[in-house]
Amino acid sequence: MEGIVALTELSTALPAGQLLPVSEEQVGQYLGEDWEFVYRNSDYLLWGTVVTILLTLTSILLGFLAGFPAGAIEAYGSGYSRAIVRKFGVLLRGTPILVIMIFTFFVLPIDIVLGAAEIGLRSIEFVLGPTPFTVPTDVPEAFIAATIALGFRSAAYQSQIFRGALGSIDEGQMEAARSIGMSRLEAIRHVIVPQAMRRSVPGFQNEFTIVLKDTSIAFAIGLGELLKRSHDLFTQQTTAVLEVILFISLIYFVLTFGTNRTLDYVSNRFAIPGESS
């Protein structure tokens, strides 16, 4: 930083319009210092990566828990329930994620949401028995708000993925299941859904990647994910902006590439026999 201050003081002493001559050795020195700065703070960025991964997983899980039932309702529900789900889906898909996230953080009462989630979890445990899930109470509100925003926006898109996958199953599958004595609900559960889940993997893979990258929007509400922590760094050393951005871009690429390869394997592993993945 002393070199930067000296450079600034020297530049102010020059006449207007006159550039300060900088040698190639000085340029290399500054670049080396910037990369060294990134290296020294790499652990700070990697903790931001952990937050990004956790936010992606919680958002995708919430999106699945809300999106799959919504897709099933659109495919098999009654006219009234289908209309409600479609209207909410259109609203969420048509609203910018930044607006949704700001709303969930500054307007949505998080305490009431957590209380409702606690009641819902207790109801599930009353019907199905104890579950390993608990409602988070010591998680930062920014993380919860970001999860709600990303999760429900993802649910709006996942519902269309699952609706299309359910609708792609031939009607003969339903007729065959009913002909051997299954009810309509049993046929959907045991015959239609397993095939639809396999066919939905490619679309789900794309949605997973989108949510992973959209976690950077949580920067707007102050959550310390990868982009927010990178901003914290290059405001400390402004000459290292490019180096920090390149470093976090590499991290995003590794996360995206690893996710795609993993889901490619899942798609091939669980592909319906006789169909191309």
Express each pLDDT in 132-174 by its tens digit. 777 666 778 899 999 999 999 999 999 999 999 888 888 888 8
Indicate the domain borders of the chain. Answer: 27-267
pLDDT surpasses 50 at 8: no
pLDDT at 116: 77
Nearest of 154, 166, 148, 164 to residue 93 by alpha carbon: 154
Q: Average pLDDT, stretch 108-119?
A: 81
Q: Average pLDDT, stretch 104-133?
A: 78
Residue 27 CA to residue 148 CA, distance in Å, equals: 46
pLDDT surpasses 60 at 84: yes
Residue 77 CA to residue 199 CA, distance in Å, equals: 21
Question: Which CATH number does the domain 27-267 belong to among 3.90.1150.10, 3.40.30.10, 1.10.3720.10, 1.10.630.10?
Answer: 1.10.3720.10
Helices (H), ranges, 168-269: 171-179, 184-187, 193-199, 201-214, 226-236, 241-269
Q: Tokens 């795609």 appear where?
A: 260
CB 227 within 8 A of CB 216: yes
Compute the C-alpha angle 159/161/167, nearest 5°.
95
Q: Average pLDDT, stretch 66-88?
A: 89
Q: Tokens 């009353």 appear where?
A: 126
Torsion angle, alpha carbons of 217, 218, 221, 224, to 10 = -130
Higher model confidence: residue 54 or residue 21? Answer: 54
Amino acid 195 reads: Q
Q: Average pLDDT, stretch 208-224?
A: 92
pLDDT at 250: 94
Residue 241 CA to residue 115 CA, distance in Å, equals: 42
Helices (H), ranges, the chain: 2-12, 24-40, 42-76, 79-94, 97-106, 110-128, 141-167, 171-179, 184-187, 193-199, 201-214, 226-236, 241-269
pLDDT surpasses 50 at 20: no
The encoded tokens of residue 108 equal 């949505």
pLDDT at 266: 82
Residue 101 CA to residue 97 CA, distance in Å, equals: 6
Higher model confidence: residue 178 or residue 28? Answer: 178
pLDDT surpasses 60 at 34: yes
Q: Is 171 helix (H, G, I), strand (E, B) or coil?
A: helix
pLDDT tens digits, 239-273? 888 888 999 999 999 999 999 899 888 878 877 76
Cβ contacts of 215 within 8 Å, gap of 6 or more: 52, 55, 56, 59, 146, 150, 225, 226
pLDDT surpasses 60 at 1: no
Instruction: Flag the least confident range among 4-18, 47-61, 214-228.
Output: 4-18
Q: Tokens 């091939």 appear where?
A: 268
